[in-house]
A = this chain, B = another copy of it.
Amino acid sequence: MDQRPLDALNKAKGKPVYLVLKNGREITGTLQALDIHLNMWLENAEVTFEDKKSSYGDLLVRGDSIVLASPANQ
């Protein structure tokens, strides 16, 4: 296993990412930091939940809430 999934995601640092959480929340933001638990620190994040949007200058997302993570600007 020469490459690791989290290293691949880590290359998106400084770039926009799109997250899907366990409870259905969807989040976009610029990935600033990532740890081995998949905790993430986002800048200019927008959270969409049940058709309601909230914006955050900085946002920590707990890793064990995350199901999917994708570089957003593809």
Residues of A whose CB lies within 8 Å of any CB of B are 1, 3-10, 21-23, 25, 32-35, 38-41, 45, 47, 56-71, 74
Contacts and interface: CB of A to CB of B under 8 A. Distances in A.
| Number of copies of this protein chain within its complex | 7
Contact of A41 (B5, B41, B67): B5
B58 A70 contact: yes
A2 to B, nearest CB: 8
Contact of A56 (B7, B41, B70): B70
Contact of A1 (B5, B34, B56, B65): B34
A33 B5 contact: yes
24 contacts: A1-B10, A1-B34, A3-B41, A4-B35, A5-B34, A5-B40, A6-B39, A7-B33, A8-B58, A9-B41, A9-B60, A21-B67, A22-B23, A23-B67, A38-B62, A45-B70, A56-B74, A57-B71, A57-B74, A59-B68, A60-B69, A61-B68, A62-B68, A62-B69
